[in-house]
């Protein structure tokens, strides 16, 4: 392709240059012919013969060709020995070879001439030596052939270098893909550092592989945790049923055994329902169905719902609304936001000692974002574990005797991510402080009324 384009460009240069030289030749011959015809019309044949003799002996004779002859006779004057044996075309132009002898050597050189017939039975030939034009054409053809050869060689070398580099980069991707297919998820596509398209592709592929490896690792951890969490209730259920069948229980023992089995079944179902909820939340990508939700009202309702539970443990559960009359409206799914708030309050009650303090608040920051804050004075979470507790089945209590699935904060993180909220866990000195910052995306009043 490189050689072809070079040939086209050089061919155009050659064609336009040759056409320009030919046009200059035609113009020069026509101009000279017009001048001689004018001399003939003003002075007759004698004046024309005299003018031709001057031209033949002058500097014009080196480049121009002149010949004046009767229609059927010998030439009268000119620098040609005889009339060319070539028939002119319909425009009077002739292309022929002129024979001459220079330093004892016979030579042929091309000529381009025009013929006109005069009124006195004479015919006049005016032409031009085309040796320079032919030499130029020969040089151009040689240069064109050399340039095309060089372009072809450079094109082949460049093509080989580019194709080898391209294949090398593609082979790197193929090797990484083969490594992944063989089960080694740690393989990554090498990045050259040049910042080209392959580097951007490699960076995207590596990010995708990092994400896949993280998901696979998380899936393995989830599988292990599910097996650990469900093994205990299943073993208890089997033991109760086995003891009931082997012994001779009365009706009350049957009832007690069945109630225990139901509790274990409820725990298993709760675990799977929580997993399904998180999966559905993380799989959602359409937020067009979001509607305006008053976060302050939702938090107040959640506190009212859990206040009797806190009172049973002697805990103080309070809600602090924001100052001012500014609406605390966020765009979101009311059910998911309610479930998220309930999980936060339920966790605070569960892990705060009897007689503890739990505070729920809604406030604004300087950027206009709405914040939901749930704080307690319980044991809290060490800073090094605050990121990992958002993963599924992560529980700081390794014995797992406390009722729970380890999915509460995972669901909170999934809902926050769906709503574009920033989730932050910090020290409440003492206790844990969970804060969610929702972006300022409140719907206009007309939209809010329509949603209501």
CATH 3.40.50.1100 for the 197-283 domain, yes or no: no
Q: Can you give the pLDDT at residue 436?
A: 92
User: Locate tokens 């309050």: which residue?
Assistant: 345
Token pair recorded at residue 5: 């384009």
Residues 6+ apart with CB under 8 A from 50: none
Cα–Cα distances in angstroms (integers) from residue 48 to residues 28, 56, 69, 124, in the given order? 18, 12, 12, 10
Please give the CATH topology (third level) of the domain spanning 2-139. Beta-Lactamase (3.30.450)
The three-state (H, E, C) secondary structure of the chain, written as one string = CHHHHHHHHHHHHHHHHHHHHHHHHHHHHHHHHHHHHHHHHHHHHHHHHHHHHHHHHCHHHHCEEEEEEECCCCCCEECCCCCCCCCCCCCCEEEEEEEEEECCEEEEEEEEEEEEECCCCEEEEEEEECHHHHHHHHHHHHHHHHHHHHHHHHHHHHHHHHHHHHHHHHHHHHHHHHHHHCCCCCCCCCCCCCCCHHHHHHHHHHHHHHHHHHHHHHHHHHHHHHHHHHHHHHHHHHHHHHHHHHCCCCHHHHHHHHHHHHHHHHHHHHHHHHHHHHHHHHHCCCCCCCEEEEHHHHHHHHHHHHHHHHHHCCCEEEEECCCCCCCCEEEECHHHHHHHHHHHHHHHHHHCCCCCEEEEEEEECCCCCEEEEEEECCCCCCHHHCCHHHCCCCCCCCCCCCCCCCCHHHHHHHHHHHCCCEEEEEECCCCEEEEEEECCCCCCHHHHHHHC
Q: Which of 349, 350, 364 shows the shortest CA–CA distance to 303?
A: 349
Annotated domain spans of the chain = 2-139, 197-283, 291-451
User: Locate tokens 């095309």: which residue?
Assistant: 148
Token pair recorded at residue 145: 């052939």
Pick the CATH number of 291-451 from 3.40.50.10540, 3.10.20.70, 3.40.640.10, 3.30.565.10: 3.30.565.10
User: Locate tokens 């939901």: which residue?
Assistant: 372
Half-sphere exposure of 370 (CA within 13 A, CB side): 25
Q: Which of 415, 128, 90, 135 shows the shortest CA–CA distance to 278?
A: 415
Q: Can you give the pLDDT at residue 307?
A: 93
Q: Can you give the pLDDT at residue 389?
A: 74
Query: In which residue ranges of the chain is pLDDT below 70?
Result: 61, 101-104, 221-222, 225-226, 228-229, 247-249, 275, 277-289, 391-406, 440-452
Domains 2-139 and 291-451 share a fold: no
Q: Can you give the pLDDT at residue 62?
A: 72
Q: Is pTM beyond 0.85 here? A: no
How far apart, in whole angstroms, are the C-alpha atoms of residue 116 and residue 67?
Answer: 11
Residues 162-187 have pLDDT tens digits of 888 888 888 888 988 888 888 888 88
Instruction: Report the side by side order of strands in the sheet with 432-438.
Output: 316-320, 357-364, 370-376, 432-438, 422-427
β-strand pairing of 316-320 with 357-364: parallel
């Amino acid at each position: 392709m490189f050689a072809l384009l070079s040939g086209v460009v050089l061919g155009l240069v050659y064609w336009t240059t040759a056409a320009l030289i030919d046009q200059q030749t035609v113009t020069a011959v026509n101009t000279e012919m017009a001048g001689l015809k004018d001399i003939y019309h003003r002075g007759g044949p004698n004046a024309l013969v005299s003018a031709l003799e001057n031209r033949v002996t002058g500097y014009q004779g080196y480049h121009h060709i002149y010949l004046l002859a009767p229609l059927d006779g010998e030439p009268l004057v000119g620098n040609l020995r005889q009339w060319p044996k070539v028939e002119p075309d319909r425009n009077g132009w002739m292309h022929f070879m002129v024979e001459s002898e220079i330093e004892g050597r016979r030579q042929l050189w091309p000529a381009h001439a025009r013929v006109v017939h005069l009124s006195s039975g004479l015919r006049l030939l005016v032409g031009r030596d085309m040796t320079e034009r032919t030499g130029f054409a020969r040089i151009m053809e040689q240069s064109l052939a050399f340039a095309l050869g060089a372009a072809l060689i450079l094109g082949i070398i460049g093509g080989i270098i580019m194709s080898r580099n391209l294949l090398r980069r593609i082979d790197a991707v193929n090797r990484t893909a083969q490594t992944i297919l063989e089960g080694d998820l740690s393989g990554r596509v090498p990045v050259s550092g040049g910042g080209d398209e392959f580097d951007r592709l490699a960076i995207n592929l590596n990010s995708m592989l990092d994400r896949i490896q993280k998901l696979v690792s998380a899936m393995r951890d989830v599988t292990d945790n599910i097996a650990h969490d469900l093994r205990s209730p299943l073993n208890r259920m089997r033991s109760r049923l086995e003891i009931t069948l082997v012994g001779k229980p009365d009706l009350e023992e049957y009832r007690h055994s069945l109630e225990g089995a139901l509790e274990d079944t409820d725990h298993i179902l709760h675990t799977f329902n929580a997993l399904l909820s998180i999966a559905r939340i993380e799989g959602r990508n359409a937020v067009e169905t979001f509607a305006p939700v008053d976060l302050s009202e939702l938090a107040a309702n959640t506190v009212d719902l859990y206040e009797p539970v806190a009172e049973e443990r002697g805990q103080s559960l309070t809600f602090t609304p924001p100052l001012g009359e500014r609406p605390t409206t966020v765009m979101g799914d009311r059910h998911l936001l309610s479930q998220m708030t309930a999980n936060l309050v339920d966790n605070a009650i569960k892990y705060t000692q009897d007689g503890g303090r739990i505070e729920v608040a809604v406030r604004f920051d300087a950027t206009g974002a709405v914040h939901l804050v749930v704080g307690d004075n319980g044991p809290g979470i060490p800073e090094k574990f605050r990121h990992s507790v958002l993963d599924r089945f992560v529980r700081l209590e390794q014995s797992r005797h406390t009722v729970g699935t380890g999915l509460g904060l995972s669901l909170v993180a999934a809902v926050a991510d769906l709503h574009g909220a920033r989730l932050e866990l910090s020290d409440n000195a003492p206790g844990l402080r969970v804060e969610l910052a929702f972006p300022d995306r409140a719907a206009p009043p007309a939209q809010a009324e329509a949603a209501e």
